[in-house]
Amino acid sequence: MNFKQQLDEKTRHAEDVLKRYLPEEKGFQKKVLEAMNYSVMAGGKRLRPILMKESFLLFGGEGAVVEPFMAALEMIHNYSLVHDDLPAMDNDKYRRGRKTTWNVYGDGMAVLAGDGLLNLAFESAASAFDFADDTKTIKRVALALKVLGKKAGIYGMIGGQAADIEAESDGRVSKELLFFIHENKTAALIQAAMMIGAILAGAETEAVKAVEKAAYNIGIAFQVQDDILDVTGSEDVLGKPIGSDEKNHKLTYVSLYGLEEAKKEVSRLSEEALDILRSFENQNEISGNKLYRNPFLEQLVTELITREK
């Protein structure tokens, strides 16, 4: 199988896992369950659960304990989109070519659907204890839950969103604030994905820290590339208008560094991330401490960062 075929297969697997944790549409609260499923099944690359699983595999993880967390993280990503699209926030009527959740179900129901997904995410993640029999695994699940909470919350994604909203309202964006916003809004869930994969597979503290750094680089590089494409991209390829950042006087990595330096920054960040991902000695007892690699994960990271759309 080539990379594309592997990616397709892994995307399907992530969706299968996700569907198992989504609710059946029945009962007196049927409408909110429909709204939840509608928003999660609207498509998307399933990048975060795939990264989680691959990080799990990198450290020799085995079994289904990672699956509830895969579903949980994708639910968190999607609830944040549902709430972001609300009239009270970005007021977006369409996403990925489909009506947004509030535009179909009304904004009251969309608020509840987002709440329902966030709650179900933690509920699903907590069900990972069902796959944990021994104290070692139970402790890993507990740590993974804490990482999920931190990276999704006010010291993670929500913190980044809040800082972003406020920056827009007062119009002043410093370099420090730009990095804060993207470290939290974009990179934090990538970090959650890869750290949780590593933790559940039994990676040691130092390795988890290194993964956190690699994921930070991937998240920021992804965002810098986004800013570059807004300047250099083709509208046909991107499927959305270019130049919108400049028009909106938005501080971006490109306006901060200039185009050439921004491109160099993408290379630097991604090389460093790949070096980290290539550097682990496997700590899984079975494999006897040999250097462990996940070529698919390395290629996925490369594709993400050098993408043209």
Q: For the packed helices 67-85 and 135-152, what is the interaxial angle rounded to 10 degrees?
A: 10
Half-sphere exposure of 303 (CA within 13 A, CB side): 12
Q: Whole-number minimum distance, CB 80 to a second copy, in Å?
A: 8
Q: Is 218 in the site for a second copy (CB under 8 A)?
A: no
Q: Whole-number minimum distance, CB 71 to a second copy, in Å?
A: 13
Q: Which parts of 91-150 interact with a second copy (CB under 8 A)?
A: 102, 107-112, 114-116, 118-120, 122-123, 126-127, 129, 135, 138-139, 141-142, 145-146, 149-150
Q: Which parts of 158-217 interact with a second copy (CB under 8 A)?
A: 158-163, 165-166, 176-177, 180-181, 184
Q: Is 29 in the site for a second copy (CB under 8 A)?
A: yes
Q: For the packed helices 205-232 and 295-306, what is the interaxial angle rounded to 10 degrees?
A: 30
Contact in structure between 102 and 87 (CB atoms under 8 Å): yes
Task: Classify 295 as helix, strand or coil.
Answer: helix
Q: Whole-number minimum distance, CB 65 to a second copy, in Å?
A: 13
Question: What is the rounded distance in angstroms from the CA atom of residue 143 to the CA atom of residue 123?
Answer: 15
Q: Which parts of 73-102 interact with a second copy (CB under 8 A)?
A: 79-80, 83, 86-89, 102
Q: How far apart are the first and last CA of the chain?
A: 24
Q: Is the dihedral of CA 51, 245, 174, 258 positive or negative?
A: positive
Q: Whole-number minimum distance, CB 269 to a second copy, in Å?
A: 21
Q: Is 65 in the site for a second copy (CB under 8 A)?
A: no
Which segments of the chain are extended strands (E)?
A: 94-95, 98-99
Q: Which parts of 248-277 interact with a second copy (CB under 8 A)?
A: none
Contact in structure between 42 and 110 (CB atoms under 8 Å): no
Return residues touching a second copy (CB under 8 A): 23, 27-29, 31-33, 36, 79-80, 83, 86-89, 102, 107-112, 114-116, 118-120, 122-123, 126-127, 129, 135, 138-139, 141-142, 145-146, 149-150, 152-154, 158-163, 165-166, 176-177, 180-181, 184
